[in-house]
Structure 1
C-alpha cells in the first residue's frame, strides 16, 4: 500500500494542512479513467492525483455524476456529506479505499 504524506497551505483558513494519502495507484488510475469519461476529456489529458475537478471544468452536477460512477465501479455507497467534500482525484481515491476496506470488514 502506497502512503503519500503531503502538506499544503489553506488560504481560506490560513492554516497548513497535512494529508495522508494511502490509495493504491490502481485506484487513483481508475478514478482518473472515470473522471476522463464523465468530463469527456481527451484520453491523453494529463490527470494526476492532485487534479481538481473544478480545474478540469466540472460543475457540481458533474461531480455528483463522477461519484455515481465511482459507486457503480467500486460497488460502494458514498454518503452525501462525503460526496460534497471530494474535490480532487486523490480525495476520491482515498475515500474509495476507505469505503472498500470498511465494506470488506463488515
Structure 2
C-alpha cells in the first residue's frame, strides 16, 4: 500500500504489512494511522494457584482413588494397601500411578512407582517432589 493506505483483509479489518492481503487502494482512516503496531501476546498471563498443602494432596489422591471403578470407597483409607486391603493387582497399581501423574502434572519413574502401594505413600512422594512439608 501507498502512504496513507492500509491493506484490508476479507473481514474488512486492517492487516499487517507482508501478510499477502491485497490493498484496495483506500486511504487509511486517520484513527488507524495513529494506532501503534503491537504484536498480540502469545499466551495469557494468569495468577498463580495457591500453594499446595499436605491436606490438599491427600484430598486429591483420595478423590482420584475413589473415582477408580475397582476401588470400594468404603474400604479406602490413607493406609489401605492396594493389593492386600483393596484386592487390586499390579496392573491396577500402574493405572493408579498414571492417574496420579495426570492429576499432579509430573511423571513418576517406574522404580519409584513400584514402591507406592498405599495412598499415604503417594501423598508423601508427591509432597517430597513438590517440596511441601505442611
Q: TM-score range by the shorter chain?
A: 0.5 to 0.7
Equivalent residue for 2:104?
74
Structure 2, unmatched stretches of 5+, are 1-52
Equivalences for 1:1-106 in 2 at 5 Å? 24-43=54-73, 45-54=74-83, 55-101=85-131
Larger Rg: 2
TM normalised by structure 2 equals 0.52
How many residues matched? 79
Cα distance in 2, alignment partners of residues 69 and 99 from structure 1: 17
Cα distance in 1, alignment partners of residues 123 and 55 from structure 2: 9
RMSD value, Cα: 2.0
Higher relative contact order (CA 8 A, sep 6+): 1
Structure with the higher helix share, 1 or 2: 1
Structure with the higher strand share, 1 or 2: 1
